């Protein structure tokens, strides 16, 4: 079966990034071919996901193309991806919380948070934050272009970042910012060489643009109690999901509320609380299955919060679509490729400075 993201898709992607400067008949320039990172299958989904967990109806058929350019502590990026859903959860032990600001340039996306579901149509600009839980459904082949910045660069907007994801108001500022992010990535990718002053100026501009976008949300430094409680619940799940005895009753007890209050807190959210805990355990199980030297399945189950290997095997096959052993074999027999895809790393920062 041929690729979905074939040369025609890549040429159309490049034409959108260039604003029409790159023509279809001109082919794919060498600088673009050399810069694009191709990812596919189960392993490609693991490599592309940053602080999220990716799922697709047919993971083996997943394809993605990534273009990125590190600019100091920020990173411009564009992704072209086949249909999938990525679930973002808080990472309390993360070295650096990050915020992804992106504009939908092709296809469509749905953003799901505790506050409900919103359609991110072509041209809309939104954000995802590692400080809150959310899920983004990419419909068919979709393109997102934007910037990744440290959450610490937005100290006045913590209350908004706790939402996990949201759309920016559709204003002239938002539309102009989306177009600017696309053009900046194209220019820096086409001519990557740049002196330190140009890079520093671009980084300063990117941070200023993102801060301006977030200032459109009201109530800097204000956080409502429901948002605080939901964020606390997610942090507890992160901390205790490896305990097999941890369940909704234990979560409610630690939050000092009843089950009814807990369910009311998450009313309208996608998926049940029990599903949230299960999916978090499966995410840990995937990580444990790739640990070297390999652990036996009982040890993986114990470290992931499952009562035994049989329970892990049943849930893994149902949710992931592969047995744990098949998942491990496929991942470990693939050649090593990009491991950090969208993450901001020291190495990336050095390359961008």
Q: What is the pLDDT of residues 49-68, one digit of tens each?
A: 766 788 888 888 999 999 99
User: Residue 336: its pLDDT value, please?
Assistant: 45
d(CA 126, CA 103): 6
- How many CA atoms does the CB half-sphere of 234 hold within 13 Å? 25
d(CA 104, CA 188): 20
CA nearest 149: which of 214, 222, 227, 105?
Answer: 214
Residues across the chain:
353
Report the pLDDT averaged over residues 212-240: 78
Question: What token pair was written down for 330?
Answer: 């496929």
Render pLDDT for 139-157 as a digit per residue (tens, 0 to 9): 889 999 999 999 888 888 8
Question: Which residue(s) pair with 98 in the sheet?
Answer: 150
Domain boundary assignment for the chain: 7-221, 225-333
On the question of a cis peptide bond just before residue 96, with omega within 30 degrees of 0, the verdict is: no
Question: What token pair was written down for 215?
Answer: 């200032």
Q: Does the domain formed by 225-333 have CATH 1.20.1250.20?
A: no
User: Could you tell me the fold of the domain covering 7-221?
Assistant: Jelly Rolls (2.60.120)
Q: Are 39 and 337 in contact (CB under 8 A)?
A: yes
Inter-axis angle of helices 309-320 and 297-304, nearest 10: 80
Percent of the chain whose pLDDT exceeds 70: 86
Q: Are 129 and 161 in contact (CB under 8 A)?
A: yes
What's this model's pTM, rounded to 2 decimal places? 0.68
Percent of the chain whose pLDDT exceeds 90: 44
Q: Per-residue confidence at 319, pLDDT binned at 50, 70, 90?
A: confident
Report the pLDDT averaged over residues 102-126: 90
DSSP string, 111-161: EEETTEEEEE-TT-EEEEETTS-EEEEEEEEEEEEEEEEEGGG-GGGHHHH
Question: What token pair was written down for 75?
Answer: 């990173």
Mean pLDDT, the chain, integer:
84
Neighbouring C-beta atoms of residue 226, cutoff 10 Å: 13
Give every CB contact of residue 41 below 8 A, 6+ residues apart in sequence. 59, 60, 61, 62, 330, 334
């Amino acid at each position: 079966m041929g690729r979905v993201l074939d040369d025609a898709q890549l040429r159309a992607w490049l034409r959108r990034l260039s604003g029409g400067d790159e023509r279809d008949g001109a082919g794919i320039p060498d600088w673009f071919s050399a810069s694009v990172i191709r990812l596919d299958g189960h392993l490609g989904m693991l490599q592309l996901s940053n602080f999220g967990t990716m799922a697709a109806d047919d993971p083996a058929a997943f394809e993605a193309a990534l273009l990125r350019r590190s600019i100091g502590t920020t990173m411009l990026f564009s992704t072209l991806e086949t249909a999938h859903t990525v679930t973002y959860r808080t990472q309390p032990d993360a070295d650096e919380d990050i915020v992804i600001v992106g504009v939908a340039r092709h296809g469509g996306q749905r953003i799901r948070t505790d506050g409900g579901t919103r359609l991110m149509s072509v041209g809309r600009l939104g954000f995802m934050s590692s400080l809150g839980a959310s899920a983004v459904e990419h419909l068919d082949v979709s393109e997102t272009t934007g910037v990744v910045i440290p959450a610490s660069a937005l100290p006045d907007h913590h209350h908004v970042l706790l939402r996990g994801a949201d759309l920016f108001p559709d204003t002239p500022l938002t539309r102009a910012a989306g177009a600017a992010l696309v053009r900046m990535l194209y220019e820096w990718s086409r001519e990557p060489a740049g002196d330190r002053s140009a890079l520093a100026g671009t980084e300063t501009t990117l941070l200023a643009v993102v801060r301006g976008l977030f200032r459109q949300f009201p109530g800097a430094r204000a956080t409502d109690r429901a948002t605080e409680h939901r964020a606390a619940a997610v942090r507890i799940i992160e901390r205790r999901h490896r305990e097999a005895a941890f369940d909704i009753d234990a979560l409610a007890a630690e939050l000092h509320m009843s089950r009814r209050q807990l369910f009311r807190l998450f009313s309208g959210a996608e998926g049940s609380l029990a599903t949230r805990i299960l999916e978090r355990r499966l995410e840990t199980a995937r990580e444990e299955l790739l640990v070297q030297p390999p652990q036996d399945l009982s040890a993986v189950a114990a470290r992931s919060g499952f009562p035994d290997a049989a329970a892990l095997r049943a849930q893994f096959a149902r949710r992931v679509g592969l047995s744990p052993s098949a998942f491990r074999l496929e991942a470990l027999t693939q050649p090593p490729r990009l491991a950090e895809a969208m993450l901001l790393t020291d190495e990336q920062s050095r390359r961008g400075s």
